Amino acid sequence: MEPRRHEDKNGEEGVRETLRLAPNIVLMDVNMPLLDGLAATARIMAEKPTPILLMTASENLKNEVDLGLRALEIGALDLVSKPEAIQVADKGAQALLTRLKLLAGVPVISHPRGLSKRAKRPEKTARAGSSIIHRARRVIGVVASTGGPRALKTFLGGLSGELDAAIVIVQHIDGAFLEGLVRWLGDDRPFPVVVGEDGRGIHEGEVIVAPGLCHMEVAIDRSP
């Protein structure tokens, strides 16, 4: 069956038609009249959770790290650079269609803006003999793909600061967003969230994220 498309002229119309039509996927520009893509995404995710892919006119996503993380925070599944023109035969067009089909199958949940922000936790004071100095006896591995950053944020937000294990994460994400992702995941957390390095020890009470375009292997001596 040929997929049906519907185009809207502004953010307000986009929200209204998404609520009316209940599409499988929404492709939306960040910059739109009346209501920008971030605000439109926030409203859609609060009222009718729908997979959303946001586009930005910036060709270099490294300059849009904060924008990308804001998009994830309010419920978008990803942020991509907007092509100047799309021809059906272009490889870029086919890649975009493939991504849209993938994202259309990602389960999403209600995401009321503001309610998702947890109260800031008090900073934990390090104490002598803190578990951070001990090599991890137990390691928890987490692997995530499209839609993973929000799930990781929720997962880490539910943990206390008394971790008696290390958490190792491999997240499929554009390398341009990696440092911002690590910073975002570590916000208000009472334990460190860091990027993994070859030969670095793995300690109790820390979260290690695999570098961009890499998997993670843990050696018997607890070094990645």
Q: Write down the pTM of the prediction.
A: 0.62
CA 106/CA 208 separation, integer angstroms:
25
* Average pLDDT score, the chain: 80
pLDDT, tens digit, 9 for 90 and up, residues 139-153? 999 998 877 888 898
Give the pLDDT of residue 59: 64
Average pLDDT over residues 196-223: 82
CA 158/CA 21 separation, integer angstroms:
35
CA 209/CA 193 separation, integer angstroms:
7
CA 15/CA 24 separation, integer angstroms:
14
pLDDT confidence tier of residue 86, bands split at 50, 70 and 90 = low
Same fold, 11-104 and 131-209: yes
Half-sphere exposure of 85 (CA within 13 A, CB side): 2
CA 94/CA 83 separation, integer angstroms:
12
pLDDT, tens digit, 9 for 90 and up, residues 179-196? 888 888 988 788 899 998
The residue ranges of every structural domain in the chain are 11-104, 131-209
Q: Which of 13-27, 112-126, 202-216 has the lowest mean pLDDT?
A: 112-126
CA 207/CA 152 separation, integer angstroms:
11
Percentage of residues in the chain with pLDDT exceeding 70?
78
Helices (H), 22-112: 37-47, 65-74, 91-104
3-state helix vs strand vs coil in the chain, percent to 5:
35, 15, 50
Helix (H, G, I), strand (E, B) or coil at 164: coil
pLDDT, tens digit, 9 for 90 and up, residues 89-140? 577 778 888 889 988 988 888 766 534 444 444 444 343 344 345 788 899 9
Average pLDDT over residues 39-51: 93
Closest CA to 185 of 219, 211, 208, 218: 208
Helix (H) or strand (E) holding 157: helix 148-157
CA 110/CA 55 separation, integer angstroms:
21
- Strand-strand pairing, 78-81 and 166-171: unpaired
pLDDT at residue 203 tops 90: no
Give the pLDDT of residue 68: 81
Q: Mention the CATH class of domain 131-209.
A: alpha beta
CATH number of 11-104: 3.40.50.2300
Give the pLDDT of residue 24: 94
Residue 142 is classified by DSSP as: E
Phi, psi of 165 (to 5 degrees): -150, 170
